[in-house]
Amino acid sequence: MLNPAAGHGRASREWPQVEALLRASGTSFSLIRESTRERALARLRALPPGPVVAVGGDGTAGALLPALAAGQRPLALVPLGTGNDFAGWLGLHGLGCLPDLLAGRAQARRLDLLRVQWQGPQGSGERLLMNGLGMGFDAQLTAALPRAPGWLPGQARYLWAALGTLAQMRLHQGAVRVDGQVLSSGPTCLCAVMNGTRYGGGFLISPESDPADGRLNVVVGQSLSRARLPAMMLKVAQGRHLAAAQVVHATGQTAAVTWQEPAWLHLDGDVVGEVTSLQAEVLPGALTLLGPARSG
Ligand SMILES: Nc1ncnc2c1ncn2[C@@H]1O[C@H](COP(=O)(O)OP(=O)(O)OP(=O)(O)O)[C@@H](O)[C@H]1O
């Protein structure tokens, strides 16, 4: 699966190297190269079961989840996107575990997925997620990311978008529940529901997440002021924000969020619009991920 748009064209540029490796190994494969996630998923669903190699970023792999969940097809990541946050958590770079996969040495591990449903002024939806979602300020700045200069690396792009979005930041009145218990209620700057630890090219929004623990993690930034946000973002970059006074967090199996007024939502870095409510549940071990051979 090649997403030509991933990494601002990086996946396309580096595809010949991936293809050469596949051909040199004598592996037979079908190349799916489509312009939208929906068409790519439809092509994959038409193929017989077998390992899937996602050449692109987290969004490329995320788009395929409905055809991968429940162990139907194991997934290998070749992280050539912009942020590559989920792959980064796994310690994967460049060609990922492809050389090990082709040599028959890749190791399979079961990881959790999130199933998310949302409702908003533009309608409702449902999606499976590998990494996580954000509502409020972090979704607003994710929407601004495509306007960031292409030469900026991952985290710098995120900071650029954050500073540009600060003036539009507003607090939303909301309620966040984890396993039915109220975690936060009142003015809210952002709310993240995570399976992985990081987003935005390395921001450790949920440093305590473990995608294999059968649980999701929720992090809420409450009434943070514009003046305090940049300093808080620097803390998030290092994963040192959970102890801050305006931050609450919890772990559980389900999360439910309601907003009095619509708040922006991103799903694995894809901004889907404004929502008034959202429910998330963890699907333990729903994804079989192929990783590098472990030494020892
Ligand atoms: N197979 C596909 N073909 C075309 N477009 C896709 C495909 N899969 C996903 N997309 C769309 O392309 C967008 C960008 O892909 P992706 O997220 O992988 O790259 P990125 O944003 O550069 O990397 P990252 O998410 O790691 O920062 C996705 O948000 C998704 O909507």
| Structure ipTM | 0.94
130 and 178 inside one domain: yes
Ligand 1: centre distance to CA 53 (Å): 14
Query: Residue of the nearest CA to atom 30 in ligand 1?
Result: 59
Does ligand 1 lie within 6 Å of residue 5's CB atom? yes
Distance of CA 10 to the CA centre of its chain: 19
Does ligand 1 lie within 6 Å of residue 31's CB atom? no
The more confident residue out of 36 and 70 is 36
What pLDDT does 293 receive?
Answer: 74
* Other Cβ atoms closer than 10 A to 207: 17
Ligand 1: centre distance to CA 8 (Å): 10
For residue 154, the ligand 1 atom closest to its alpha carbon is 27
CATH number, domain at 179?
2.60.200.40
Within a domain: residue 296? no
Among 7-16, 109-118, 166-175, the range of highest mean pLDDT: 109-118
pLDDT at 290 exceeding the cut of 50:
yes
Q: 105, 132, 157: which is the final residue of a domain? A: 105
pLDDT digits (tens, 9 = 90+) for 58-67: 889 999 999 9
117 and 245 inside one domain: yes
pLDDT averaged over every residue in the chain: 91
Within a domain: residue 160? yes
229 and 210 inside one domain: yes
CATH number, domain at 46?
3.40.50.10330
Does ligand 1 lie within 6 Å of residue 196's CB atom? no
What pLDDT does 171 receive?
Answer: 93
Ligand 1: centre distance to CA 60 (Å): 4
pLDDT at 89 exceeding the cut of 50:
yes
What pLDDT does 64 receive?
Answer: 95
**How confident is the model over 267-277, as a mean pLDDT?**
93
pLDDT class for 45, splitting at 50, 70, 90? Answer: very high
Which residue range is the domain that position 122 belongs to?
A: 113-284
For residue 83, the ligand 1 atom closest to its alpha carbon is 27
Query: Residue of the nearest CA to atom 11 in ligand 1?
Result: 37
83 and 123 inside one domain: no
187 and 245 inside one domain: yes
Ligand 1: centre distance to CA 184 (Å): 32
Does ligand 1 lie within 6 Å of residue 59's CB atom? yes
Percent of the chain's residues with pLDDT above 70: 99
101 and 119 inside one domain: no
Number of domains into which the chain is organized: 2
In the DSSP assignment, the letter for residue 201 is T
- Inter-helix orientation angle 154-165/137-144, to 10°: 110
DSSP track, 3-55: -TTGGGGHHHHHHHHHHHHHHHTT------B-SSHHHHHHHHHTSPS--EEEE
47 and 97 inside one domain: yes
**How confident is the model over 176-205, as a mean pLDDT?**
94
Within a domain: residue 289? no
Within a domain: residue 294? no
Percent of the chain's residues with pLDDT above 90: 64
136 and 93 inside one domain: no
**How confident is the model over 78-87, as a mean pLDDT?**
87
150 and 242 inside one domain: yes
pLDDT at 296 exceeding the cut of 50:
no
For residue 1, the ligand 1 atom closest to its alpha carbon is 1
Q: 56, 86, 105: which is the final residue of a domain? A: 105
Does ligand 1 lie within 6 Å of residue 217's CB atom? no
The burial of 92, by beta-carbon neighbours within 10 Å (0-12 exposed, 13-18 middle, 19 or more buried), is given as buried
97 and 201 inside one domain: no
**How confident is the model over 255-280, as a mean pLDDT?**
95
Q: Are 222 and 155 in contact (CB under 8 A)?
A: no
pLDDT digits (tens, 9 = 90+) for 4-22: 989 888 999 999 999 999 9
Within a domain: residue 293? no
Q: 49, 70, 105: which is the final residue of a domain? A: 105
Where is 129: in which H helix or E strand? Answer: strand 123-129
What pLDDT does 295 receive?
Answer: 57
Within a domain: residue 46? yes
Ligand 1: centre distance to CA 179 (Å): 31
| Stretch among 102-106, 188-192, 215-219, 278-282 having the lowest mean pLDDT | 102-106
**How confident is the model over 246-251, as a mean pLDDT?**
97
Ligand 1: centre distance to CA 3 (Å): 6
Does ligand 1 lie within 6 Å of residue 44's CB atom? no
175 and 261 inside one domain: yes
Where is 68: in which H helix or E strand? Answer: helix 65-68
Does ligand 1 lie within 6 Å of residue 62's CB atom? no
The more confident residue out of 155 and 178 is 178
Among 81-85, 87-91, 217-221, 234-238, the range of highest mean pLDDT: 217-221
Does ligand 1 lie within 6 Å of residue 84's CB atom? yes
